[in-house]
Amino acid sequence: MYYVGIDLGGTNIAAGLVDDNGNILQKDSLPTLADRGYKAIVEDMSVLCEKLTSAQGISMKQVKSIGIGSPGLCDAKNGVVIFAANLFFENVPVRDELSRYYDMPIYLENDATCAIAGEIVSGAAQGCKDAIIITLGTGVGSGIIINGKIFTGAFSGGGEIGHIVIEVGGEMCTCGQPGCFEAYASASALIRDAKLTAVRNPKTKILTLADNDINKINAKIVFDANYLGDADAEKLVDRYIDYLAIGLTNVVNIFQPEIIVVGGGISREGEKLLVPLRKRIHPFGTKKLITKIATSELGNDAGIVGSALVFKMQV
């Protein structure tokens, strides 16, 4: 059986032809160009569908369903993106629009929800029924599967782990609330703090690695400077892992899933990040960390595999 998975991002529309086991048979992408409006974006989704199938010598008539993973708040039931800041989407009927091109089941879910679905199908969370992904990127995204089913709260607005307050009156979050987990554990938060450090100490290796251009500082550079023994970077990474551990402690105490998959750019640090992280997570009760902590295995492909097959986990 064939399925199409479309990972709609702020920069690219990535799509893939996927089989029942989560293998990507064909992959392609087009730039999103978000400011052109949703109709042109959805039209390009159909262009991708045609390219994927013709490259495999089949037609869209042989495809069973299309799944779309979108950033932001999604109304899966009605196939509407309620709000997605970086797409300039507000109440956009993505499913209905794509239905103009194809008469087949079309599903819409949040991109992080799709990512954890992908990891369950063929990645780090394979076979798990209770799994959560935390993506560490521009923001902190989260996708939650409980007992094999997608969890987004009673009205599709829950599951926002990035917006759990972990420090009352703390750093301002992009959501307008101070102290959210995202304001400490996103790559953006680490970059913000590294820039503050670079202003205070222009001799830090962080700045050297960024060609002495404060605007070129990224999360990888901070980790690299840390591995090179730079004292400022060590302090930043240490503090970053502290906060990340607090957030994951909360996830464990709330959900106690079988696995937490860490995704997003920062997850590429792998075990160098996970080893100290696991030690700093403090589960309530038995105190023993039963939940497995792992990094994403599928990376960017998780979104394609997951959006194609996430319908199997819908409530």
Residue placing its CB nearer to a copy of itself in the complex, 170 or 299: 170
Residue placing its CB nearer to a copy of itself in the complex, 196 or 315: 315
From CA 66, how far away is CA 174, in angstroms rounded?
A: 32
Task: Give the tokens for residue 50.
Answer: 């045609």
Q: Look-up: residue for tokens 């392609």?
A: 28
Cβ atoms 196, 239 nearer than 8 A: no
From CA 229, how far away is CA 294, in angstroms rounded?
A: 25
297 touching a copy of itself, by CB under 8 A: no
The secondary element (H helix, E strand) that includes residue 140 is strand 140-146
254 touching a copy of itself, by CB under 8 A: yes
DSSP 35: G
Coil, strand, or helix at residue 17?
A: strand
Pick one of 68, 166, 210, 304: the residue that binds a copy of itself (CB under 8 A).
166
172 touching a copy of itself, by CB under 8 A: no
- Side chain identity, residue 109: E
73 touching a copy of itself, by CB under 8 A: yes
- Side chain identity, residue 19: D
Cβ atoms 82, 75 nearer than 8 A: yes
Cβ atoms 63, 3 nearer than 8 A: yes
249 touching a copy of itself, by CB under 8 A: yes
Shortest distance in whole angstroms from residue 79 CB to a copy of itself? 18
Shortest distance in whole angstroms from residue 57 CB to a copy of itself? 43
Pick one of 167, 224, 234, 297: the residue that binds a copy of itself (CB under 8 A).
167
127 touching a copy of itself, by CB under 8 A: no
1 touching a copy of itself, by CB under 8 A: no
Cβ atoms 69, 76 nearer than 8 A: no
Stretch that binds a copy of itself, among 99-107, 174-182, 209-217, 224-232 (CB under 8 A): 174-182
Pick one of 177, 201, 212, 314: the residue that binds a copy of itself (CB under 8 A).
177
Pick one of 57, 61, 147, 229: the residue that binds a copy of itself (CB under 8 A).
147
User: What are the two backbone dihedrals, phi and then psi, of residue 82, each rounded to the nearest 5 degrees?
Assistant: -70, -45
From CA 276, how far away is CA 244, in angstroms rounded?
A: 11
Residue placing its CB nearer to a copy of itself in the complex, 64 or 239: 239
Shortest distance in whole angstroms from residue 100 CB to a copy of itself? 28
CA terminus-to-terminus distance, the chain: 22
Residue placing its CB nearer to a copy of itself in the complex, 62 or 126: 126
Fill in the per-residue mask, 256 to 285: x = in contact with a copy of itself (CB under 8 A), - = not in contact: xxx-----------------------xxxx
Cβ atoms 8, 71 nearer than 8 A: yes
Cβ atoms 45, 6 nearer than 8 A: yes
Which spans of this chain sit near a copy of itself (rule: CB under 8 A)?
Answer: 73, 82-83, 129-130, 146-147, 151-161, 163-168, 170, 175-177, 179, 242-243, 246, 249-250, 252-258, 282-286, 290-291, 315
